[in-house]
Structure 1
Amino acid sequence: MNEAGPLPQYLVQRYHGWRATAFLENRVWYRRLAEDGQHPRAMVIACCDSRVHVTSIFGADTGEFFIHRNIANLVPPYAPDGQQHGTSAAVEYAVNTLKVAHLVVLGHTNCGGVQGCHAMCSGHAPALEEKTSFVGRWMDILRPGYERVAGLPPERQIRALEHQAVLVSLENLLTFPFVKNAVASGDLSLHGVLHDIAEGTLQQYDNQVDGFVPVV
């Protein structure tokens, strides 16, 4: 594999800094994690966006969250078709093997994936319509959400679609039989959250009002 080279120096320096401080100060804890395995209380499905720092938002320690990230924090519908499904595999492992108690879908504002979906579905991104576009085919998952917001005033559609990225994922999670069964038995709870990057705030879906409310 001649194309793969050494790490950039800034990453090397940060690694040495981490190992000399955070790792050494918590060496017993890291050794315990290595020997005992992971026992996360929650799974978080978040966007790949570098501005969404999942562990910082919730003040999580190493070993506390099982985190899966993809473009626009989407979960596809249950589809055991023999194809490769990274997100579905992560959900299956978290629920069936790790027995997480909580599954959180974490969306965010100013999401490029959501904006791309909006552009594609409204006919302004023909490149994403191509069958060869991995991003476009992934964002097809969110098309039902776009259809729900398409009738809103244009200035409200993107924010509404960011919420839909969370809701569509929650709906699709319940198409997985093992997720639905775990929720029905009370062993698993589902949560939908939207993070405002600029304000540092969280909104969560409240089924009592069928909408998002501030986390207080």
Structure 2
Amino acid sequence: MPKTARLLPGYMVDRYRAWRALRFEKDRAWYARLAEGGQRPRAMVFSCCDSRVDAVGLFGAEPGDLFVVRNVANLVPPYAPDHAHHGASAALEYAVTVLKVAHIVVLGHSNCGGVEACHDMCSGAAPHLEEETSFVGRWMSILAPGYAKVSDTGSREERLRLLEQEAVQVSLRNLESFPFVKSAVDRNLLTLHGAWMDIGEGVLHVFSAETRRFAPLEIASA
């Protein structure tokens, strides 16, 4: 048995009780339906595990709407038969081949710590991340091709922002490397989407394959 696990922190217990009383009881029938009938999400979202980014809240999702994978810097690893990055790849396979999601969204964001780590590692400013024992460094090596594209661009701040958006594009390209994803896209059963969120401004920027750029999503006037 685990020897170090403890009871939940008090604030989490309080919030669970509030959720149970205010949300669950009101939608008890819907939760029962989800439990018995299984999930049928329309979309999958690859989002960063950053606590400031909430894809469920951002898109107004209800339970059963989104199949969400959160990891450092919202990265999708390339297809690899050795399955070294098995967690994200397994979730992707399940979403596409079993749940039959119609959309996959890669959601990046501003001020991403994982992207900053990649920048510093690739520029030689963080040698500890280059060690084989660094989980962060090995994971962020997925983004190394993106760093190569922005390494000679502007100031550090400008490079970081561009690299955050490169993280989305690298993940989109890696998605296309999975045979089952490519097959679903080719048969018009699946569409891929990229987005980047400016946390401080609350503005979502969407990626266009035609222009190869991110543009802010227009907000309807009140």
- The normalised TM-score by structure 1 is 0.98
Gaps of 5+ in 2: none
- For residue 39 of structure 2, give the secondary structure of its aligned residue in structure 1: coil
Same amino acid, percent of matched pairs = 58
Q: 2:186 aligns with which of 179, 184, 187?
A: 184
Distance of aligned partners of 1:197 and 1:84 in 2 relative to their CA distance in 1, 3 Å threshold: closer
Please tell me whether the aligned partners of residues 105 and 193 of structure 2 are also in contact (alpha carbons under 8 angstroms). Answer: yes
Asked if 1:35 corresponds to 2:36, the answer is: yes
Match of 1:2 in 2: 3
Instruction: Tell which deviates more after alignment, 95-104 or 75-84.
Output: 75-84
1:49, CA displacement in angstroms?
0.1
> How far 1:215 sits from its partner (Å)?
1.5
Match runs of 1:144-183 below 5 Å = 144-154=145-155, 155-183=157-185
- 1:82 offset after TM fit, Å? 4.8
For the residue of structure 2 that corresponds to 1:4, the secondary structure is coil
Aligned residues: 216
1:62 matched to which residue of 2? 63
Compute the displacement of 1:137 (Å): 0.3
CA deviations over 1:162-196 (Å, ceiling 9, x no partner):
00000000000000000011111100000000011
Q: Does 1:212 align with 2:214?
A: yes
Q: Distance in 1 between matches of 2:41 and 2:172?
A: 20
Aligned counterpart, 2:18: 17
- Structure 1 counterpart SS, 2:25: helix
CA distance in 2, matches of 1:151, 1:8: 46
Counterpart of 1:61, as a letter, is E
Q: Distance in 1 between matches of 2:3 and 2:207?
A: 48
RMSD: 0.9
2:87 & 2:3 partners in 1: Cα distance? 27
Counterparts of 2:39 and 2:167, CA distance in 1: 29
Partner of 1:77: 78
Give the match's secondary structure for 1:139: helix
Q: Output the CA distance in 2 between the equivalents of 1:210 and 1:17.
A: 44
Query: Does structure 1 retain, via aligned residues, the 8 Å contact 2:77–2:85?
Result: no
Distance 1:59 1:136, change over 3 A: same
- Runs of 4 or more consecutive aligned structure 1 residues displaced over 4 Å after TM superposition: none
- Mapped to 2, the partners of 1:54 and 1:130 lie a distance apart of 32
Q: CA deviation at 1:69?
A: 0.4
- Which runs of no fewer than 5 residues in structure 1 stay unpaired? none
Write the deviation string for residues 130-171 of structure 1: whole angstroms up to 9, x where unpaired.
000000000000000000001211241110000000000000
Q: How far off is 1:84 after superposition?
A: 5.3
Q: Give the letter for the 1:21 counterpart.
A: L
Q: 1:32 to 1:187 in 2, by over 3 A?
A: same
In structure 2, how many angstroms separate the alpha carbons of the residues matched to 1:158 and 1:212? 15
CA apart distance, 1:2: 2.1
Deviations along 1:71-114, whole A, 9 cap, x unmatched?
A: 00001110011545100001000000000000000000000000
Amino acid at match of 2:133: T
> Could you tell me the TM-score, scaled by structure 2's length?
0.96
- The amino acid of 1:49's aligned partner reads D
Q: Partner of 2:120 in structure 1?
A: 119
